């Protein structure tokens, strides 16, 4: 009997594992469609608070959505025009920048060799490879442009999501046959997620503006581009600020010299530190119950699966998975593994 139960459990585990592999493969193969809906959902989360505020002021739903979408389109066009020009200029100058970076690092390698430090050329050109960093930055920005190439379809999707946002709870209650159902856990999760995305976007916007101003003061080329890159990569927890600083510092190195490159790095690190350790804890409070290891692994997983958009949205996506696992008794242990120590302690207290 015990052997039969063990065999049944093993079969059940294998079926679940196979289903997960199929789902992950399907998401990877349908990456473009999944990214489109993720970007739409992200923009809808940003647009939901002003739509609901306008409706509270007795503005009809359709007009409220029209006002919010008009503001969103104007903002995207203004930003897109500036960023598009900077990306095009950066891409055109990329071969020249790469050759100048190579010259700088070869000169540094010769200097170190003359001081008795051997093998630095191989380290710089093969392991560090600054030219590849600049090329990767250009590919990253062009990849983002391709992800946003279906902008009309994205905006239409956002519009329909915003039109349905207030009626969704009513429809869900009708499906479940309980018109008085309040869904406290789901409502709390949605509010937390919306709050995270709105606050994080505002914080990142401020960070991007500060970085752009700092680049302009230092005289680094394409300050708007580096501010935009900082805005995007600050969504990536823990390491986003450092990643956004590297290509700007390399450009400052070849354009202005080592001193300016160090100032670029210092500015990015200071802004990232203040935001990550002072501003975000004050505005967001708890870190949504995810452990530091899970945050790092989720960055790798979602980034590999969905590219830049997956890396940017790794926290919301992992939070959604955690909520799903919490909602089912048989998978609650997975939510405990994903959660932080504080979250685990709270769950233990609830069970007692």
Confidence band (pLDDT; 50, 70, 90) for 166?
A: low
- Residue scoring higher pLDDT (301 or 237): 301
Q: How far apart are CA 85 and CA 98, in angstroms?
A: 20
**Beta-carbon contacts of residue 342 (< 8 Å; ≥ 6 apart):** 286, 289
Confidence band (pLDDT; 50, 70, 90) for 53?
A: confident
Instruction: Report, as an integer, the average pLDDT of 289-295.
Output: 73
pLDDT at 230: 87
* 127: DSSP letter: I
Confidence band (pLDDT; 50, 70, 90) for 111?
A: low
Indicate the range of 48-52, 76-80, 97-101, 201-205 predicted with least confidence. 97-101
> Which among 214, 178, 226 is positioned nearest to 82, based on CA atoms?
226
The angle at the Cα of 23, spanning 17 to 24, to the nearest 5 degrees, equals: 90
Torsion of CA 28, 29, 30, 35, to 10 degrees: 40
293: Cα within 13 Å, side-chain hemisphere: 5
174: Cα within 13 Å, side-chain hemisphere: 5
Q: How far apart are CA 86 and CA 76, in angstroms?
A: 15
Task: Report the share of the chain in percent with pLDDT over 90.
Answer: 2
pLDDT at 213: 92
Tell me: the pLDDT tens digits for 170-220? 665 565 555 555 556 666 777 777 778 888 888 888 999 999 999 999 988
What does pTM read for this prediction? Answer: 0.73
* 314: DSSP letter: H
pLDDT at 168: 64
Confidence band (pLDDT; 50, 70, 90) for 49?
A: confident
- Residue scoring higher pLDDT (169 or 2): 169
The β-bridge partners of 290 are 339
Q: State the chain's mean pLDDT as an integer.
A: 75
Residue 45 burial (CB < 10 Å; 0-12/13-18/19+)? Answer: buried
pLDDT at 128: 52
Print the SS3 string covering 142-171: HHHHHHCCCHHHHHHHHHHHHHHCCCHHHH
Residue 157 pLDDT exceeds 60: yes
Helices 223-233 + 240-256 axis angle, to 10: 160
Tell me if 335 sits within 8 A of 325, measured CB to CB.
yes
> How is 204-237 classified by DSSP, letter by letter?
HHHHHHHHHHHHHHHT-S-HHHHHHHHHHHTTST
* 275: DSSP letter: I
């Amino acid at each position: 009997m015990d052997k039969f139960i063990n065999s049944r459990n093993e079969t059940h585990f294998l079926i679940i594992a196979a289903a997960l592999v199929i789902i992950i493969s399907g998401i990877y193969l349908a990456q473009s469609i999944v990214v489109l809906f993720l970007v739409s959902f992200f923009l809808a989360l940003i647009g939901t608070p002003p739509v609901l505020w306008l409706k509270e002021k007795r503005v009809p739903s359709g007009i409220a959505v029209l006002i919010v979408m008009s503001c969103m389109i104007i903002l995207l066009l203004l930003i897109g025009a500036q960023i598009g020009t900077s990306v095009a200029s950066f891409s055109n100058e990329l071969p020249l920048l790469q050759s100048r970076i190579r010259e700088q690092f070869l000169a540094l390698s010769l200097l170190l060799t003359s001081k008795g430090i051997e093998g630095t050329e191989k380290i710089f050109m093969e392991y560090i490879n600054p030219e590849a960093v600049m090329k990767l930055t250009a590919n990253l920005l062009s990849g983002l442009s391709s992800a946003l190439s279906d902008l009309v379809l994205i905006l239409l999707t956002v519009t329909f999501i915003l039109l349905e946002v207030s009626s969704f709870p009513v429809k869900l209650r009708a499906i479940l046959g309980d018109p008085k159902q309040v869904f406290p856990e789901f409502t709390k999760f949605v509010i937390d997620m919306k709050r995270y995305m709105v606050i994080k976007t505002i914080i990142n916007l401020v960070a991007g503006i500060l970085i752009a101003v700092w680049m302009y003061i230092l005289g680094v080329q394409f300050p708007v581009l580096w501010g935009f890159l900082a805005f995007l990569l600050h969504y990536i927890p823990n390491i986003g600020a450092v990643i956004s600083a590297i290509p700007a510092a390399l450009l400052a190195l070849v354009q202005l010299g080592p001193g300016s490159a160090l100032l670029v790095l210092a500015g990015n690190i200071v802004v990232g530190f203040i935001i990550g350790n002072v501003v975000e804890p004050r505005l967001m409070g708890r870190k949504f119950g995810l452990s530091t290891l899970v945050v790092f692994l989720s960055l790798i997983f979602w980034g590999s699966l969905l590219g830049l958009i997956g890396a940017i949205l790794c926290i919301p996506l992992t939070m959604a998975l955690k909520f799903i696992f919490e909602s089912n008794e048989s998978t609650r242990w997975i939510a405990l593994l994903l959660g932080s120590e504080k979250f685990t302690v709270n769950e233990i207290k609830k069970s007692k």
